[in-house]
């Protein structure tokens, strides 16, 4: 791996780190204030609704963002496909919202919670539109634009959210804050993209949609299964009436989610490079992967050790004593976060080498394991059972991803020789 490639990777990682780090910080402060203001029950209601929405709107993506990044990284001329992909994403988003709207009547009889689900549904779908556009910048390795937009969105969300919670605190007003901020940023971004890059337009291209969905659907369904690991526990707890427990668990998961951020940022920088090198040079592909996995193992060990030592202090300082039951759940989820660092490189190898169907089967079995464990453990151990179910699922994901990636990595090693 040459010095220039390393510089490019770290430059883009730094940009993503700035964007993701600052935006996460804004949102973390907002969530902490929301948890303290709304209490475990109100915070639990918000996260229960968000869990339902996040689980279903994943079908608005269907892996299109990752495939777009991969294809544009290989061939810049494929930018001509972008208008068709954009319209496909819009149509899928409309369909996903209809599903969320219909399902909300079956999952809760509380009209207030249903309204929150609808508002957050519109928020998540609008936010997911931006994620598709980020794929363009990632393919071009221009992460600075993504960083700028993420920061602006998070700042505006936090500003409106704090204002709502101070003046008229309620779960529904917090939900409106997220929706309003994202709508404003989306309009701003359309103008920004049209001026700086090229005018945004959409086009009907059924053949392109068929081509993209044919290769992207395994990733999309895998994302849906992945959402099971992240959200189904909160949905089950909420369905069982454990709303306060959802608040505690969500507080712990927010912190664990922050710990995973570096893994996502580094992966976003390595992914287009791995996709490109797999086509051009098996030797450089192998060298890049080895560098990547060594880095992630070091970070994994560091995060687990530091996280376990300071977990109780973090919960008490951020959320206060009323969230102290979240400490044990956080400690379990910290180990899960460390495993995520090991899983990510092997997952990206499978995507970069066009092995989406293997990801599908890994995610499918992982989702089944997670659902079964949650159904068994949550009624008896509540949020702690949910945390253990998530940890066991990630152990399975890591082992499976390594197993399926090993032949690919060995063949590239042989090609190098």
Q: Is the pLDDT of residue 68 over 70?
A: no
How far apart CA 323 and CA 174 sit, in angstroms, is 20
**pTM of the entire predicted model:** 0.70
Identify which of 146-150, 166-170, 329-333 has the greatest average pLDDT: 329-333
236-269 confidence digits (pLDDT tens): 888 888 889 998 998 898 889 888 888 877 887 7
Identify which of 131-140, 206-215, 360-369 has the greatest average pLDDT: 360-369
- Let me know: does 241 contact 113? Beta carbons within 8 Å: no
How far apart CA 283 and CA 277 sit, in angstroms, is 8
Tell me what pLDDT residue 80 has: 59
How far apart CA 388 and CA 119 sit, in angstroms, is 31
What are φ and ψ of residue 121, in 5° steps? -60, -45
Tell me what pLDDT residue 356 has: 73
Tell me what pLDDT residue 239 has: 81
Tell me what pLDDT residue 121 has: 86
79-130 confidence digits (pLDDT tens): 555 666 677 777 777 887 888 888 888 777 788 888 999 998 888 778 777 7
Residues 6+ apart with CB under 8 A from 352: 70, 271, 274, 275, 278
């Amino acid at each position: 791996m040459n010095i220039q490639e390393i510089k490019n990777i770290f430059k883009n990682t730094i940009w993503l780190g700035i964007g993701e780090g600052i935006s996460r910080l804004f949102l973390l402060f907002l969530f902490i204030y929301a948890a303290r203001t709304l209490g475990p029950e109100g915070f639990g209601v918000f996260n229960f609704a968000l869990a339902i929405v996040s689980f279903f709107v994943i079908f608005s993506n269907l892996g299109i963002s990752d495939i777009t990044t991969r294809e544009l990284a290989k061939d810049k001329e494929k930018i001509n496909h972008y208008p068709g992909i954009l319209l496909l994403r819009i149509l899928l988003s409309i369909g996903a919202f209809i599903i969320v709207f219909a399902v909300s009547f079956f999952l809760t009889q509380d009209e207030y919670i249903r309204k929150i689900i609808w508002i957050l549904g519109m928020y998540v779908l609008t936010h997911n539109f931006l994620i598709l556009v980020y794929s363009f910048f990632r393919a071009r390795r221009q992460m600075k634009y993504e960083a700028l937009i993420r920061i602006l969105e998070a700042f505006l969300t936090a500003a409106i959210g704090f204002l709502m919670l101070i003046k008229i605190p309620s779960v529904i007003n917090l939900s409106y804050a997220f929706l309003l901020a994202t709508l404003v940023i989306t309009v701003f971004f359309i103008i920004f993209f049209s001026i700086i890059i090229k005018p945004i337009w959409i086009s009907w291209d059924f053949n392109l949609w068929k081509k993209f969905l044919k290769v992207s659907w395994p990733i999309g369904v895998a994302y849906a299964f992945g959402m099971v690991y992240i959200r189904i526990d909160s949905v089950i707890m909420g369905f069982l009436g454990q709303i306060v427990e959802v608040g505690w668990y969500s507080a712990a998961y927010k912190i664990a989610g922050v710990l995973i951020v570096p893994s996502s940022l580094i992966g976003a920088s390595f992914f287009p490079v791995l996709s490109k090198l797999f086509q051009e040079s098996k030797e450089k592909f192998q060298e890049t992967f080895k560098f990547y996995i060594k880095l992630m193992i070091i970070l994994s060990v560091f995060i687990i050790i530091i996280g376990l030592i300071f977990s109780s202090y973090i919960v008490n300082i951020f959320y206060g004593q009323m969230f102290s039951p979240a400490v044990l759940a956080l400690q379990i989820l910290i180990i899960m976060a460390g495993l995520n660092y090991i899983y990510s490189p092997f997952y990206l190898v499978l995507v970069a080498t066009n092995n989406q169907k293997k990801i599908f089967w890994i995610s499918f079995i992982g989702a089944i394991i997670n659902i079964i464990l949650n159904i068994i453990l949550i009624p008896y151990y509540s949020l702690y059972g949910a945390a253990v179910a998530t940890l066991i699922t990630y152990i399975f994901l890591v082992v499976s991803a390594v197993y399926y990636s090993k032949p690919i990595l060995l063949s590239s090693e042989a090609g190098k020789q």
